[in-house]
Structure 1
Amino acid sequence: MTAVQLSVTIITYNEEKNIERCINSVKELADEVLVVDSYSTDKTKEICQGLGIRFIEHTFEGHIQQKNYALDQAEHEYILALDADEALTPELFRSIQQVKQHCNYDAYRFNRLTSYCGKWIKHCGWYPDTKLRLWNRQKGRWGGENPHDSVKMIAGSSTHHLNGDLLHYSFPSVEDHARTANRFSEIASDEAIRKDRRVNILVHVILNPLFTFVKKYFFQLGFLDGYYGFVVCVLSGYSNFLKYSKIYSKRRKASSLLT
């Protein structure tokens, strides 16, 4: 059993509504709180500096790149990575506190519970949304595909599940969810084009969004979350429709330019 020190890393851009809650949930736990900001134009910087944490500004090159930059700037070997709209429950705080005192694994996972328009979503495939967010940075880095990043551990790394939830204060309105879906689909379609991925209209543009809704609403019991469960499932399918239709359109446009 080994005692460890902990760096909490958070990337931000215009997070004045969320960042104080996030930092306050970990401030008494962390040996360092590091915020890497993409030159926010709101009060994010002022709030962070007022809380006395370490604040760095760095040009945003992608979610994965920005999070790995934050990882490289951190002072301690063990990293707890949060998004600005997340916060620890008291139970998860205590679990991580125990890890600091007696660290037996290379990485730790825990469940994430999402608040959508003020309602906690417990179905739709959104819970338990298990995340690996606490790890030895010598054993793992951010990977995946923008904008959907995840920590990739080296082969043979040991992991353990912690009690307690990570609270995710996601979308305050349906309109905000729709705007984010459009923005993320643009990033994902550009990534797909870069990797030369192809799209089938029937399979990807038509059937995939429909199947996504059916899976989330019926098989993953989204209907138990009431009206907002229905909205989440619809917009999940819509997000896939946007992504694949944009990939298809961009490929057609690129082909027409070559002829």
Structure 2
Amino acid sequence: MDQLSVVIITLNEERNIGRAIDSVMKVADEIIVLDSFSTDKTAEICKDKGVRFVQEQWHGYAKTKNLANSLSTHEWILSLDADEALDETLQQAVLEAKERGFKGVYIMNRLTNYCGSWIKHSSWYPDFKIRIFPKSKTSWEGEFVHEELNFTENLVENKLKGHLLHYSYYTYTEHRSRADKYSILTAQKLHASGKKVGLMKPYISAFGRFVTMYILKLGILDGWKGFKIAQISAASNILKYKELIRLNKENGN
């Protein structure tokens, strides 16, 4: 049987981290939490759970996740966000994969809880994420946001049964705030790559985003929550491209 290191990065995750840790107790041979100096009860909860708790300054998503992976003592890593948790079916699927011996990488289907409701459409579901992989053949890359897992060789992909439960946003205000944060980071990434857009791009993109999420991806079936997801996503698209235009003008582009 292969051994599995569960790796989680945190910053002020007291409302989520206990649930995340509890969900991997049955599958993990070690649990490592790399924390960026939380000021809430994250450290206390982690220490009570008996996990390995390390604190380090924030270096961005990719670099911080790579640092966390380097702390593991096993080759196979389950990378878990603090606001995620394995359901019972997924726990069993991971255990069965361990018994057989891990090969390649393993994909989990993430199901998001948004302000108390499970979202089954809105382009948020299905949402397949690679979460188990060999440390020696992978690394996280991405300077600004939306880090990606890169491989040093081709690895077979295996889908696991069950759901990776994602407790994303507890309020609409929280969603808007985080979406705007990611939009600013994405604009910086686009600017660094030399991307240029016209003055109408923010509005055309926002309209397309809303129609795609609410109509084409059946967000309407998610009710009011589906409407809010599409609305906030569209508004953040406006911000992203306005910020990109501002950065380009500021730098004479």
Fold similarity call, TM over 0.5: yes
| CA deviation vs aligned residue, 1:189-248 (integer Å, no higher than 9, x gap) | 22222222222222x312111101101111110000000001001111122211111111
Q: Counterpart in 1 of 2:206?
A: 209
In structure 2, what is the equivalent of residue 112 of structure 1?
110
- Deviation (angstroms), 1:104: 4.8
| Native 8 Å contact 2:5 2:30 kept in 1 | yes
> What is the number of residues matched between the two proteins?
253
- Aligned residue for 2:112, secondary structure, equals strand
- Match of 1:135, SS state, is strand
Q: What aligned pairs does 1:16-165 form with structure 2 within 5 A after superposition? A: 16-144=14-142, 146-165=144-163
TM-score (norm 2): 0.96
1:150, distance to aligned residue in structure 2 (A): 2.6
Pairing 1:255–2:228 present: no
Q: Is the 8 A contact 1:106 1:139 kept in 2?
A: no
Distance between the aligned counterparts of 1:200 and 1:72, measured in 2? 43
Aligned AA for 2:248?
Answer: R
Provide the alpha-carbon RMSD of the alignment. Answer: 1.4
How far 1:120 sits from its partner (Å)?
Answer: 0.3
Q: Is the contact made by 2:34 and 2:53 (CA closer than 8 Å) also made in structure 1?
A: yes
User: Residue 124 of structure 1: CA displacement?
Assistant: 0.5
SS of residue paired to 1:108: strand
Tell me if structure 2 keeps the 8 A contact 1:110–1:131. Answer: yes
5+ long unaligned stretches in structure 1 = none
CA contact (8 A) 1:9 1:34 kept: yes
Deviation, structure 1 residue 154? 3.1
Unaligned runs of 5+ in 2: none
TM-score, scaled to structure 1: 0.94
| Larger deviation, residues 184-193 vs 30-39 | 184-193
Aligned partner of 1:200 among 198, 201, 209 = 198
Report the residue type matching 1:129 in the other structure.
D
